């Protein structure tokens, strides 16, 4: 698939979007993590332990997609590393989805709407896949405080959307593309 880049008058392929996708995905995910650190530091709000994500991912090739509760499942040697790598890879994937729809035009003039849509849409991953697979129920319904967990997930993913926008603006101002 190709698109015409009006600014340079050349043809832009989806391959040309790989570098921006990776840079923005990593930057947005790092922003999300910095926001989580700030919440933990200022208000003692605990975020997701990515070791649990790694434990889940490590169990999938062994045939265990769901857990009664992942907190009681056996630990894996590299679960924390696996979880963090997966977390950043998913961030890159969501930015790739957004750029597949917006193309290079968003990179040239970043706007807030599309990143916030992706941020909101990305909360479907924990609500519909991860939380049920962890044994926490659909949209954290089996947790002690489901609405607080849902609110925290939504805020985390909105911060990811804001991170997409801010990283895109910085990269556009630096003329990285």
Say if strands 2-5 and 10-13 run parallel, antiparallel, or are unpaired: antiparallel
How confident is the model over 134-160, as pLDDT tens digits? 999 999 999 999 999 999 999 999 999
What is the Cα Rg of the chain in Å? 18
15 falls in which pLDDT band (50, 70, 90)? confident
How confident is the model over 22-42, as pLDDT tens digits? 999 999 999 999 999 999 999
CA-wise closest residue to 56 among 150, 130, 111, 152 = 130
* Exposure on the CB side of residue 33, measured as CA atoms within 13 A: 13
Domain extent listing, the chain = 15-173
pLDDT of residue 6: 45
The model carries a pTM of 0.90
């Amino acid at each position: 698939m190709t698109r015409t880049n009006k600014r340079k008058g050349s043809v832009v392929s989806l391959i040309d979007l790989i570098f921006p996708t990776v840079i923005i995905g990593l930057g947005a995910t790092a922003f999300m993590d910095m926001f989580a650190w700030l919440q933990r530091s200022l208000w003692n709000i605990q975020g997701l332990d990515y070791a649990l994500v790694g434990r889940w991912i490590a169990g999938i090739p062994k045939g265990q997609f769901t857990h009664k509760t992942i907190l009681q499942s056996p630990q894996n040697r590299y679960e924390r590393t696996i979880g963090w790598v997966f977390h950043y890879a998913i961030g890159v994937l969501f930015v790739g989805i957004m750029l597949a729809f917006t193309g290079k035009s968003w990179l040239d003039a970043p706007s807030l709407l599309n990143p916030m849509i992706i941020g909101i849409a990305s909360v479907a991953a924990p609500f519909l896949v991860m939380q049920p697979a962890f044994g926490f129920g659909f949209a954290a319904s089996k947790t002690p405080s489901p609405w607080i967990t849902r609110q925290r997930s939504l805020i985390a993913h909105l911060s990811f959307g804001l991170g997409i926008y801010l990283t895109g603006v910085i990269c556009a101002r630096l003329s990285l593309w």
